[in-house]
Amino acid sequence: MLNILNIKNQKGFSLIEMMVVVVILGLIVLGLVIFFTGGARSWILGQSQLSAQRNARQAMDRMVREIREGKNITSDLASDSDGDTIVVSIPPLGSELAYIVTYKLSGTTIVRIKNTISNLLIDNVLKITGEDIFKYYDSVKQYIPDDSNPDINLSNNISKISKVHINLKVDIDKDNKPDITLNTDVNLRNYGLQE
């Protein structure tokens, strides 16, 4: 009889109390999972943004370095009215022979073509209507072609181009809005060089 009284006087948790504790703990864990998942997602997005920015800078540096060594822009450029192609004649430098290099936007990719060998330079390039990737200027910083002056067109003045402006826009998340924009001016170091 003493054992029966002992069992009745023991305090414990009821099933409802246990269910309430499990639900509360579940909500706390769910909140923590949502918080850490959002943080991880932000970190991954930030890493892809940094990677794309690094790739865009490397591509821009590569183009600038090679265009700067250029002697002139070749006449093949006159057929490009979109401003998304540049063809540069590079003179012989040291032990390297002279060559022609082309940077061309193909879809959303800028391709580098040297002596018919093409290499992918950068992907996810955004071409905005009305904006050129490559713009050309003469030695007095006059834009070629000048729409206000029909005498200053690209095909007639291609030999006067001594400066190139590069406007590179990269769209990582493919929402048709540039996530990374890089601009630079490049003077052709060997412009007008006599052979």
**Could you list the mean pLDDT of each consecutive 10-residue stretch along the chain, which spans 195 residues?**
58 85 96 93 89 91 91 64 81 86 90 90 86 82 64 63 88 87 88 58
**Pair 183, 166: CB distance under 8 Å:** yes
Please give the order of strands across the beta sheet that includes 134-137. 143-144, 134-137, 163-170, 180-187
Note the helical H segments in 69-178: 154-157
- The pLDDT score that the predictor gives to residue 176 is 86
- The pLDDT score that the predictor gives to residue 33 is 94
What six digits make up the tokens of 41?
Answer: 């997602």
User: How many CB atoms neighbour CB 192 within 10 A?
Assistant: 11
